[in-house]
Amino acid sequence: MPSNPSGRLELLPAVDVRDGQAVRLVHGESGTETSYGSPLQAALAWQSSGAEWLHLVDLDAAFGTGDNRALIGEVTDAMDIKVELSGGIRDDAALAAALATGCTRVNLGTAALETPEWVAKVIAEHGDKIAVGLDVRGTTLRGRGWTSDGGDLYETLARLDKEGCARYVVTDIAKDGTLQGPNLELLRNVCAATDRPVVASGGVSSLDDLRAIAELVPLGVEGAIVGKALYAKAFTLEEALEAVAK
Ligand SMILES: O=C(O)c1ccccc1NCC(=O)[C@H](O)[C@H](O)COP(=O)(O)O
């Protein structure tokens, strides 16, 4: 089901923060960081290039190596555009801190695997301010910064659908940060299994990749997160927005 009335694929440039720096990882693995400097400067650059969304990740919170909460708050505060916050949001305190930044929505990952009752409760309380990140290797979900196994993708999806989850952010970890192209088959399969909108994440390498994801909008893909390709200057955000404009 198309969720985006414009029929246009939304783009979410990513700023992943580790130890106060904007970084990119390969396969989401700690220790594979390439640093790209100030998260605030990166976010402001995407905003001035015309982004409607920012996908902002606290990698330290995701890996359990601390957090960048103050910096994440500063970046979110500086944005006039919509912000999706991800990374380590696993309890009431972290969720309250994330929502208090004024972000548009938060992305829960590990919690959906380890504390499903809590996730059902916050979905009921906060509706579409909550998305769930389905981070997979094959069809096995991964949690804790993608370091622990968390069950079957489609069983979890069916449970979350029943609980009223508004939206899913689907990442093929094997593709993430590799510039190898998105997993279009996975996106098609997830769209076939749920009527909720899907945000695609991981692997985008070219404008043709974005055009291929945009072809899936009628199936239910609403947006695409773009990280490494923008930092590696494979294309500009302006070119990306133009490529998916209807
Ligand atoms: O989102 C998370 O919580 C997360 C946790 C642990 C490792 C990575 C995590 N997110 C990574 C991203 O969301 C990337 O920014 C996104 O998939 C972009 O990928 P790419 O375009 O391949 O750089």
Residue 34: give its domain's CATH number.
3.20.20.70
Q: How many domains does the chain have?
A: 1
For ligand 1, mutation pick of 16, 34, 67 (most atoms within 8 Å of CB): 16
* Residue 245, domain member (yes or no): no
Question: Does 244 map to a domain?
Answer: no
10 Å Cβ neighbour count for 175? Answer: 20
Is the C-beta atom of 15 inside 6 A of ligand 1?
no
Atom of ligand 1 nearest to the CA of 109: 3
| Residue range of the domain that includes 158 | 10-239
| pLDDT on residue 1 | 52
Residue 3 placed within a domain: no
Q: According to the model, what pLDDT value does residue 202 have?
A: 96
Residue 139 lies in a domain: yes
CA of 28 to the centre of ligand 1 (A): 6
Q: Which atom of ligand 1 sits closest to the CA of residue 228?
A: 23
Å from CA of 88 to ligand 1 middle: 13
Ligand 1 centre distance from Cα of residue 202 (Å): 7
Which residues make Cβ contacts (< 8 Å) with residue 169, sequence separation at least 6? Answer: 84, 86, 107, 131, 132, 133, 134, 198, 199, 201, 225
Closest CA to 228 of 10, 31, 32, 9: 32
Residue 134 is predicted with a pLDDT of 96
Strands 221-226 and 198-201: parallel
DSSP 100-154: HTT-SEEEE-HHHHH-HHHHHHHHHHHGGGEEEEEEEETTEEEETTTTEEEEEHH
**Residues involved in catalysis:** 16, 135
| Contact 146 CB / ligand 1 (< 6 Å) | yes
143 and 86 in contact (C-beta within 8 Å)? no
User: How confident is the prediction along the chain (246 residues), in pLDDT tens digits per residue?
Assistant: 555 667 899 999 999 999 999 999 999 888 899 999 999 999 999 999 999 999 999 999 999 999 999 999 999 999 999 999 999 999 999 999 999 999 999 999 999 999 999 999 999 999 999 999 999 999 999 987 777 888 999 999 999 999 999 999 999 999 999 999 999 999 999 999 999 999 999 999 999 999 999 999 999 999 999 999 999 999 999 999 999 997
Residue 246 lies in a domain: no
Query: Cβ(202) to ligand 1 under 6 A?
Result: yes
How buried is 40 (Cβ within 10 angstroms: 0-12 exposed, 13-18 middle, 19+ buried)? Answer: middle
Q: What is the pLDDT of residue 3?
A: 58
- 148 DSSP β-pair partners: 143
Structure tokens at 184: 């279009």
Element housing 168 (H / E):
strand 168-172
Tokens of 126: 């906060």
What the block records as the tokens of 118 is: 């809590």
